[in-house]
Amino acid sequence: MSLSTLKNRRERGFLDGQFLIAMPGMEDRNFNRTVIYICAHSDAGAMGFVINRPQKLTFTDVLLHLDMIKDDDAIVLPADARDFPIQTGGPVESGRGFVLHSDDYLSDSSIPVSDDISLTATLDIVRAISKGSGPKRATMLLGYAGWGAGQLEAEIGNNGWLNCPAKEELIFDRSLDNKYERALALMGINAAMLSPHAGHS
């Protein structure tokens, strides 16, 4: 599923607003020990963002790359902008930035993904964040995770993922090291208890 499909969706799918939590047997290195927030799910496929993978780039790096500031301006950025979190959102379009954020910021290009969370992928929100006037809660993600029609359902059926309702606090939590364990804890699961082998009856 692509961003344009997300914009044009008519209704929410049953995995919208859910966390996907990779099972220990996940073979794709892109998703080993990941927690993914699903923004859109339909018969056409699914789209979401990994929320527990760090990114070496800083927000200042992004602003410099986009020519929004000069080197000398970096030091005068608001503290919230200098510390603004950037994560690796997934392997698709990994050079493109997306901002997941609370709904206190909305522009014409913002797409609601839940009752409280929106997605904006345009420069206006980057400018707002750099000036200290962005959303109260947000994170920038480079790239996203996407699945074609029926692909995600098949992966879940093959014991690749667990899913549970997402928690906003976990999406925007900047501590990434144990986010995988904390996501499992939402389901009452201890990571050490999970088997890497699929079980089918």
Q: 83 in a domain, yes or no?
A: yes
Q: 126 in a domain, yes or no?
A: yes
pTM of the model: 0.88
Q: 201 in a domain, yes or no?
A: no
Residue 45 has pLDDT above 70, yes or no: yes
Q: How far apart are CA 169 and CA 10, in angstroms?
A: 27
Q: 60 in a domain, yes or no?
A: yes
Q: 199 in a domain, yes or no?
A: no
Q: Give me the domain span that covers residue 134.
A: 3-193
pLDDT digits (tens, 9 = 90+) for 46-74: 999 999 999 998 888 888 888 888 877 76
CA 59 to the chain's CA centroid: 16
Count: domains in the chain? 1
Q: 200 in a domain, yes or no?
A: no
Can you give the CATH number for the domain in which 94 is found? 3.40.1740.10
Buried b (16+ CB within 10 A) or exposed e, 47-64: bbbbbbbebebebbebbb
